[in-house]
Chains A and B, each alone.
Chain A
Amino acid sequence: MEKFGFSISKGRQINYDSNDRRVAEFIIENEPSFRLCIACGCCSASCTAGSFTRFSLRELNILISRGENDLPRNDLKKCMLCGKCTLVCPRGVNTRNVVFLAKQAFRKFDSYAI
């Protein structure tokens, strides 16, 4: 491909059908309140970790439920489990358990530990 000086760009499109949603399903099964998220962003706004780095639980929730696991897999490690998000969530999502389960799910489904 060198001879052309360019390659075929990868799309940014989420392909819902081919994505791996096991992590999302695992979380929903063990923490049904996961479904209740309306992406208001309170969690991200109050997040302790989020004040130091790019880390948005709101975003991760969406990505996980779409089966876009790459960013969450590594980003989840940034969470300090401090629990502020759980306190501010207007929908009563048990956000700490969501993070906890997500990590567990990645351990479970990934070949390598997160």
Chain B
Amino acid sequence: MTVMQFDPFVIPFNIGLNFILIYCIVRCIIWFRDLSRADKLRLQRGFFGYAFGQSLKEIFLESLIHRKILKTNFRLGYMHMSLAFGWFLLIFFGTLETDIFGTKHLNAPYKAIFFKFFNPTLGRTGFEHAYSFLMDLILAFILSGLLLAIIKRFSSRIVGMKKTTKLKLRDRIALTSLWLIFPSRLLAESFTSGTYGTGSFLTGTLGSWFASFLPTHQLAYPFWCLYSLSLGTFFILLPITRYMHIPTELFLIFMRNSGIRTGDKSGSYSEVQTFTCSSCGICIDKCQLNFSAGITNVQSAYFMKAIRSNDDVFNIAHNCLMCGRCDQACPVGIELMPIRMIQRREGDDDKDMRSIWKGFLRNRQNPLPVKTPELPSFGYLPERKFRKADVLYFAGCMTHLTPGIKNSMQKIFRASGENYYFIDEDGGVCCGRPLMLAGQDREARELINFNSEIIWKSGAHTLVTSCPICYKIFNESYHLGVEVLHHSQYIKRLIDEGTVRLKYSHMKVVYHNPCELGRGSGIYDEPVSVLAHVANLQKTEYDGKNSLCCGGSLANLKLESHERAKIAKDTVSELTKCKPDILATACPLCKKTLANATDTKVSDIAEIVAGEISEIQKKKSRISILNIKELADISWSE
């Protein structure tokens, strides 16, 4: 019998496939070109080095198996896996199939995709039959996932998701074409099988059943056309839909494994990341603005989409607590927080990026407009006052609104007998983090310089701060060459050294982990161990990385007070489920916000510890105070 080599119906598919291949290559080249020189090198090394294997492994686990999603949400994971991995298998074994059973080796891709059409009679003998059984199995696997996907679209609950992302028109078209691909293949194959009495448990049975009452011979062709057409459409639309994440993710994985990071300016990497977002919607579930405050249009998935389609993201960018819960949860590992910060820094005046075409083929001629240089904002700041000391204490603006923490820390310092200097005792200068969070780095830098000078001149070796917001910026952006500690770390150290002895109170304590301290700065253990040392610390499901935001976050400029209150209320009710005596935290802002939302006593770690300093300790400390005073008088200098 004669085997056809070509048929016009494959043209849509061919066009689509070629288009998408060329597009991806071009895109990757552009992205590569836009990388900084250092990153280019990184990528090259990464590609031809050890990282390569890493990447392949990751691609297999994440892009195909979708391990992370499976972990967080099985059904959602299975859906993604069946589609991605299933399709991969289909193509893989399809190609093999053509290679084995085809007339010659190395066939054009369409041969593999439409194998059944070109080899309708195949599949009668044992091995052939087994093989087509395998192919049917894979197809069934995909279809099961597809079924889930369709259900998810109409009721996302079933897939275990609370929210599902909203779609643009072009997404809908792409989605339908995607949905059509496999059913049309199923039918096409079934009809063909029906006509020739081939096919396995799926296509075969379905085929013969159709054949019993349908003119399968005539019906087969249109469905092969449909199959090819939907594939074509899908490929063509890919670049302007969220499905672009499929090819982009591969590139991202290589970049990441080569050690490229987002940084603080927009560039290829952040762009690749935005295109890698598959809008799976896990971030939406994690977002407290969504489930507490009922704000449902600012979550990262939407944010990424907005950036992709070049909408004005200014307000979205600022309507975020920056708690990092989504960042933590993103299965693709997109650095969501840094990307938001980039958008905040870019401000509201990068108008030339707004046009859609400039967006997709970013125009390199006119990049971001250069901001007009501004006069220094804080010229009014007074002559820097400082004092020689070993340890510096920086309470921070917020701590000045919670004197309890401030006083407790001073008590602890006295107890420790260290020669410390309270930098902002009579009202200091802001650390600069709030400005930075508002994307105003230049202004922030002025404050950083101001504070740095005081710290350097004091010649101290350690800087202790009570406010995680301050801690983060001192730690990351000051480059002081001085050890920066949050007071929870400092207290931990004093305890370990035995400098302060503490009584143990049997009070039930629950710890609320401040975002800036935990996810923000990776400090999880010290506060916990300090609390465990002085009180009966309770476990909650929100310990560690999974902690909630109090709602007070300075990072969000747009949140109304009543919305903040809602978040605080929910957080508190979650944390106080075990009816603790004290709700402990390590941040003045968290303390203030939570205290307004509950009757449970809210205390800062410092306050709890200060309350447990034993009497003997106090005596010792009095002596040491004198020492400090003397030291002070001597070592006071300009």
Contacts and interface: CB of A to CB of B under 8 A. Distances in A.
Interface of A: 30, 33, 46, 48-49, 51-53, 77-78, 80-84, 87-88, 92, 94, 96-97, 100, 104, 107-108, 112-114
From A51, A87, A92, name the one whose CB has the most chain B CB atoms within 10 angstroms.
Answer: A87
B435 A77 contact: no
Nearest to B376: A77
A112 B561 CA distance: 33
B307 interface: no
A77 B377 CA distance: 5
A30 B380 CA distance: 30
Contact of B372 (A33, A51, A94, A112): A112
B592 A82 contact: no
B91 interface: no
| Contact size range, B | 35 or more
Top 10 nearest A-B pairs (CB, nearest first) are: A92-B561, A53-B380, A80-B430, A77-B377, A82-B397, A82-B430, A81-B434, A113-B372, A51-B427, A97-B557
B401 interface: yes
Nearest to B436: A81
A92 B560 contact: yes
B34 interface: no
Contacts, number: 84
Contact of A83 (B398, B428, B558): B398
A37 B562 CA distance: 16
B560 A33 contact: yes
B400 interface: yes
A61 B374 CA distance: 23
A24 B244 CA distance: 43
A53 B401 CA distance: 20
Interface of B: 315, 318, 348-349, 371-372, 374-375, 377-378, 380-382, 397-398, 400-401, 427-430, 432, 434-435, 438, 440, 443, 447, 552, 554, 557-562, 589, 592
B377 A84 contact: no
Nearest to B440: A81
Contact of B560 (A52, A88, A94, A113): A94
Contact of B447 (A80, A83, A84, A114): A80
Contacts of A83: 397-398, 434, 554, 589
A81 B561 contact: no
A83 to B, nearest CB: 5
A80 B427 CA distance: 13
A30 B400 CA distance: 30
Contact of B557 (A46, A53, A78, A96): A96
A84 B380 contact: no
A22 to B, nearest CB: 16
20 contacts: A30-B315, A33-B561, A48-B397, A48-B428, A52-B382, A78-B378, A80-B430, A80-B443, A83-B397, A83-B589, A84-B397, A84-B398, A84-B401, A87-B398, A94-B560, A94-B561, A96-B557, A97-B557, A112-B372, A113-B372
Contacts of B375: 77
Given A77-B375, A94-B561, A87 B380 contact: no
Nearest to A74: B375
B75 to A, nearest CB: 40
Nearest to A96: B557
Contacts of B434: 80-83, 96
A107 B381 CA distance: 24
Contact of B427 (A48, A53, A100): A48
B287 to A, nearest CB: 20
B560 A87 contact: no
